[in-house]
Structure 1
Amino acid sequence: MIVRWWITTLQLTELFVSSLVHLVYGFYIFSSAVAGDLSQALSDCFYKNSVEVSLKSEDSKENLTSTKDLPPIVLVHGIFGFGKGRLGGLSYFAGAEKKDDRVLVPDLGSLTSVYDRARELFYYLKGGQVDYGEEHSKACGHSQFGRIYEQGHYPEWDEHHPIHFVGHSAGAQVVRVLQQMLADKAFKCYENTCENWVLSVTALSGAFNGTTRTYFDGMNPEDGKSLRHVSLLQLCRIGVIIYDWFDIPWLKNYYNFGFDHFNISFRKIGIWGLIDCLLGNAGPFASGDWILPDLTLQGSIKLNNLLHTFPSTYYFSYATKRTNKVMGITVPSGILGIHPLLFIRILQMSLWRHPPDVPPPYKGYRDEDWWDNDGALNTISMTHPRFPVEHPSQLVVKDSDCQPFLPGIWYYKIVEGDHILFIVNRERAGVQFDLIYDSIFERCRKHAFRNNPTMPNHII
């Protein structure tokens, strides 16, 4: 009887956790894709149809004898995302990693701040124990040290062995923060880091300038930090705290929000610690050290104040849009082709009005600039870093628009699609999936080696 009760309890717990994860994904990007749920047959379908990318180089190199000589391409997931090995082996990038022999898919905190994720990404590649920094850790109320990587996934990484990064959504901003940390030599015991450790940055629906969706989901537009008392994000906050407090190992291996360094397990804080977290007195949501404040317009502008575009790095961005103008009014571009979970959000974001009693986030702000969107991010936010200072950029309509492809410029292309078009479910994107990823990987391989900068020697 006791065994039966225990089994039933575990089943109910798993059902609750799975429902929570799916619900949270639904708030943002891809719950129904995950609810398609870990089908190995689907994964096989992903991989079977993968198209091999040509490894040709713009200038042939005699010493390029094997793929081991090529810089790796690192795919960085976005909010609520996951890396290799999570969710039963489901691929966040829908199997795109199978298109090249030198691709890495790190598993970073899905809800942790952009800062914390950038630190985790560094140690994932170099190896060692994640060090979040003494000052930051004390300010945010979490442990200074986190996960240990006994062996880095690319320990030789340096200026002479740089890396291509491809980031989806918030993952693109994570890469920018990491590059700035490298330029600032922000990692203890690594005095030789510099911005040239990053060879190229490619963004898929990159969250460079924030999103108005954060306000619909519960962030206060007054400060871009606090949560409204009744909102979807409050439900998310409560669910995540309870999930981490139960700290069930096999469930955390299945999916992890990334807050282990906050030590909110019942083993460490007990029932009173849980109550303290739920009341908003402790934990990541109390300190603001989580991803949503970074995705508000205010939070993104604060981040962008510290980030540069470097003259020796190649930048390319794909900005997605699922809206059209009809008689001067911005509306969703049809129903077919838009994920059902995103349709309402696309409509809401296309009607966004900044509260008249709240100061605008930047000088020259206009609501209409932010109406085009993909259901999660505003299109204006995805093209290139714009606020508070606009970085060098060029719109790409045809591939010839960026020939030759120069470093130090954000080349960007507008793609008709919602925010989850190129992740999780490959079949939704159809032919576009291969066209986009093939062009990304081919571009990386054409610039496998850094040439001398052709741009003026300045940093934006």
Structure 2
Amino acid sequence: MRKRLTTRLMNRAPLLVEDAPIPPHKRNKAPIILVHGFAGFARDNTPHGLMPYWGGLKVNITETLKIEGYDIYEASIGSMSSNYDRAVELYYFIKGGRVDYGAYHSKKFGHHRFGKTYDGIFPDWQPGQKVHLIGHSMGGQTIRLLEHMLRFGQPEEIEYAKSHQVKISPLFQGGKDDMINTITTIGTPHNGTFVADRIGKSNLIKSFFYRLIENEGRSTFKVDWGFGQWDLRQQKSESYLAYIKRVRSNQLWNTTDNGFYDLTIQGAKALNQQLSINPNIRYKSYSTVATHKSLFTNLQIVNVGMFAPFYLTGIIGTFSGTKEWWENDGLVPAISAEAPFTEPKLYHEQYKIERGVWHVVPRMYGWDHMDQIGGNMTNLLHTPYELIDFYRTLVKELVLFEQ
């Protein structure tokens, strides 16, 4: 077994537990949906050169759990777009149909109202027919916003539709409670992250990602970054120079309708003020820490073995804000990942968790933000088996909540 694992890692192929027994029936009644975070992609939409999001090169989390009998999916939604746009896309990914971002929202921010069409993984999704949602990083924020839309709709869209006599998406009408069984978040910046404030908002970083998306938007590339509503895609009849001229005049990064803003302290605060906990849903959160206390001061030091690109962001996190914010996973402060400050939470381990309150799992030390999804190949302390066991235990618990 050890030899086979080593061979797989050397060949850059994620581990798949192919010899796992296939159950005679599905283990879960409600579909389990994994929602990626900022700059993430579903496995079938991953840009060339990037590791798959859920499991990296360590283990194919989704396929392994499918083999073990779980009805589980990777949501394919916008990579760097706003939580609003991503939440709408998540709805249509599950339900199916052409994405409708809303007449009011699209006019306010200046992008197209309609997006791509999804087949839908659960066309019968309706009150009484529930799903489990697991979000990593920004994915947790996206899930919470979708839940809010299902329950309360979007008053601005309702008013705009009435006054302008236009059709409105069923999502924005509200009244759709009892469609989500559980919400689980892993490393989610519920209260924002100082890294987004200090680096993410900088013109240099935004320019880097914008140029990356601009390049990948060429007609010869097939990766979908999820910015179709902003016309960041070269048309078949459009020359490269005309395409560059058009996209460089785009106002995307000059609005708050993007992920860079949503991850800031201010953006997260605005979202939390809008949302509320659902008394009928079970919530659970996981936070990890990849820093440790200095021997000589009260400051935190980043761990050796942290995902290399996060060394700088981890250091920034160790002295940003008050002391309570210093422990972080390289990107997200642990205190921010535990639960929104505006919602009730319990700090204790309990197998059968209650509804209407965040159950905060004790902080997991020695795991960085990429360890949570298997993306840190340099940290050999966390094996493929440890990673899949984490997700296997997680989904086993979700099934218990269906009884």
Whether TM-score is above 0.5 comes out as: yes
Instruction: Confirm or deny that 1:213 pairs with 2:195.
Output: yes
2:331 equivalent among 376, 383, 389: 376
Superposed CA offset, 1:306-365 (max 9, x none): 1111111011111011122224432235313x122222221122122xxxxxxxxxxxxx
Instruction: Confirm or deny that 1:439 pairs with 2:393.
Output: yes
Give the drift of 1:273: 7.0
1:285 equivalent among 239, 253, 278: 253
Q: How does 1:141-156 map to 2 (within 5 A)?
A: 141-149=110-118, 151-156=119-124
1:188 equivalent among 154, 163, 169: 169
Say whether the 8 Å CA contact 1:394–1:411 is kept in structure 2.
Answer: yes
Say whether the 8 Å CA contact 2:152–2:174 is kept in structure 1.
Answer: no
Q: CA RMSD in A?
A: 2.8
Q: Which runs of 5+ in 1 are unaligned?
A: 1-37, 56-64, 220-227, 353-365, 450-460
Q: SS of the counterpart of 1:104?
A: strand
Q: What's 1:392 paired with?
A: 344
Length-normalised TM-score, structure 1: 0.72
Cα distance in 2 for residues equivalent to 1:234 and 1:90? 23
Q: What's 1:163 paired with?
A: 131
Q: 1:123 to 1:68 in 2, by over 3 A?
A: farther
Instruction: Confirm or deny that 1:75 pairs with 2:34.
Output: yes
Q: 1:343 to 1:165 in 2, by over 3 A?
A: same
Deviates more, 1:340-349 or 1:115-124: 340-349
Cα distance in 1 for residues equivalent to 2:352 and 2:90? 31
Cα distance in 1 for residues equivalent to 2:19 and 2:33? 18
Letter in 1 for 2:213: V
Superposed CA offset, 1:190-229 (max 9, x none): 557523211101111012111111133241xxxxxxxx44
Superposed CA offset, 1:75-120 (max 9, x none): 0001111113123696421122121430011211101111000000
Letter in 2 for 1:247: S
Q: How does 1:31-110 map to 2 (within 5 A)?
A: 41-43=11-13, 45-48=14-17, 66-67=25-26, 70-87=29-46, 91-94=52-55, 95-97=60-62, 98-100=64-66, 101-110=70-79
Q: 1:110 to 1:192 in 2, by over 3 A?
A: closer
Q: 1:269 to 1:174 in 2, by over 3 A?
A: farther
Letter in 2 for 1:209: N
When the two structures are aligned, how many residues end up with a matched partner?
A: 363
Letter in 1 for 2:232: I
Cα distance in 1 for residues equivalent to 2:28 and 2:142? 26
Give the drift of 1:425: 4.0
Q: SS of the counterpart of 2:169?
A: coil
Q: What's 2:360 paired with?
A: 412
Say whether the 8 Å CA contact 1:76–1:106 is kept in structure 2.
Answer: yes
Q: 1:393 to 1:432 in 2, by over 3 A?
A: farther
Q: SS of the counterpart of 2:371?
A: coil
Q: SS of the counterpart of 1:201?
A: strand
1:234 equivalent among 207, 223, 228: 207
Give the drift of 1:422: 2.5
Say whether the 8 Å CA contact 1:50–1:99 is kept in structure 2.
Answer: no
Say whether the 8 Å CA contact 1:114–1:290 is kept in structure 2.
Answer: yes
Q: What's 2:283 paired with?
A: 315
Instruction: Confirm or deny that 1:367 pairs with 2:322.
Output: yes
Give the drift of 1:409: 1.2
Say whether the 8 Å CA contact 2:231–2:247 is kept in structure 1.
Answer: no
Cα distance in 1 for residues equivalent to 2:391 and 2:74? 15
Cα distance in 2 for residues equivalent to 1:69 and 1:339? 34
Q: What's 1:302 paired with?
A: 270
Q: 1:72 to 1:304 in 2, by over 3 A?
A: same
Instruction: Confirm or deny that 1:139 pairs with 2:108.
Output: yes
1:329 equivalent among 275, 298, 309: 298
Q: Which runs of 5+ in 2 are unaligned?
A: 1-7, 155-167
Cα distance in 1 for residues equivalent to 2:197 and 2:175? 37
Cα distance in 1 for residues equivalent to 2:390 and 2:27? 24
Q: 1:113 to 1:99 in 2, by over 3 A?
A: same
Q: SS of the counterpart of 1:434?
A: helix
Instruction: Confirm or deny that 1:130 pairs with 2:89.
Output: no
Give the drift of 1:177: 0.4
Give the drift of 1:185: 3.2
Letter in 1 for 2:61: A
Letter in 1 for 2:212: G
Give the drift of 1:52: 7.2
2:80 equivalent among 111, 116, 137: 111
Cα distance in 2 for residues equivalent to 1:408 and 1:121? 22
Deviates more, 1:174-183 or 1:403-412: 403-412
Q: 1:48 to 1:212 in 2, by over 3 A?
A: same
Q: What's 1:3 paired with?
A: none
Say whether the 8 Å CA contact 1:130–1:145 is kept in structure 2.
Answer: yes
Length-normalised TM-score, structure 2: 0.82
Q: SS of the counterpart of 2:149?
A: helix
Letter in 1 for 2:370: I
Letter in 2 for 1:77: H
Superposed CA offset, 1:110-145 (max 9, x none): 011110000001011111100000000011111100
Q: How does 1:6-21 map to 2 (within 5 A)?
A: none
